[in-house]
């Protein structure tokens, strides 16, 4: 169990105190705080960003062909979604084609050197909130794991008896340090987060 993230960096979100959207903290513009949400097509399982086609044009040549290929459960799911937002729709919208995909359960963030100054700013704010003594005791180290992702390690004894508010800040600081390490080393950081 648990929510993991992978990509240029890898790790596990802290249980109970860290959101899957925590990387938004390191984006300075309000519009950039929203991660890219991924959808997975029914049946073929291809993953795409929300804005793309209603059906998977990699696997099917028409909408109808994809729709006809779905099993009954998936067809029901799509019809249920139609009910959810039916209120504002005209009656004729019953014929409207629906997205033949469902949320994939992960989101994506992309960072590069243009984010670096803001990341440093947030890290230093977090450091003063957490306290330099705690930061030192964490004994934070970072290394590439077997999947070539930057993964960190800390002294977990330090966080055992800490309150949730401070734990949340420490979890965020660790994530920010990972993102910074990736940008410093390979000039970008892509993160796929389980939600």
Binding residues vs Zn ion (CB under 5 A): 41, 44, 46, 56, 58-59
CB of 76 to Zn ion, least distance (A): 20
Beta carbon nearer to Zn ion, 101 or 119: 101
Shortest gap between Cβ of 191 and Zn ion (angstroms)?
A: 24
Nearer to Zn ion, 43 or 178 (CB): 43
CB-count burial class (<10 Å; 0-12, 13-18, 19+) for 99: middle
Closest CA to 128 of 164, 166, 163: 166
* Nearest distance from C-beta of residue 56 to Zn ion, angstroms: 3
Please state, in angstroms and rounded to a whole number, the distance separating the CA atoms of residues 16 and 106.
18
Residue 189 tokens, joined: 């950081």
- Nearest distance from residue 29's CB to Zn ion, in Å? 33
Q: By C-beta, is 71 or 133 nearer to Zn ion?
A: 71
Give the residue among 140, 52, 132 at the shortest CA–CA distance from 100: 52
Looking at beta carbons only, is 47 or 124 nearer to Zn ion?
Answer: 47
Tally: H helices and E strands in the chain:
6, 8
């Amino acid at each position: 169990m648990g929510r993991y993230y992978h990509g240029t960096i890898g790790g596990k979100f802290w249980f109970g105190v860290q959101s899957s959207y925590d990387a938004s903290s390191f984006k300075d513009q309000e519009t950039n705080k929203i991660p890219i949400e991924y959808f997975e097509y029914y049946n073929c399982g291809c993953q795409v960003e929300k804005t793309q086609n209603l059906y998977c044009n990699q696997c099917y040549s028409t909408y109808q062909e994809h729709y006809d290929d779905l099993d009954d459960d998936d067809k029901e799911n799509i019809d249920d979604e139609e009910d959810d937002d039916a209120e504002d729709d005209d009656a004729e919208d019953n014929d409207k084609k629906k997205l033949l995909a469902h949320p994939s359960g992960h989101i994506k963030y992309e960072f590069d050197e243009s984010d670096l100054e803001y990341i440093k700013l947030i890290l230093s704010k977090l450091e003063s909130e957490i306290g330099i003594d705690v930061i030192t005791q964490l004994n934070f180290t970072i290394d590439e794991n077997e999947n070539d992702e930057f993964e960190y390690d800390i002294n977990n004894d330090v966080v055992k008896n800490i309150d949730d508010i401070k734990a949340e800040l420490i979890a965020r600081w660790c994530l920010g340090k990972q993102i910074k390490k990736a940008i410093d080393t390979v000039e970008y950081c892509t993160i796929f987060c389980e939600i």
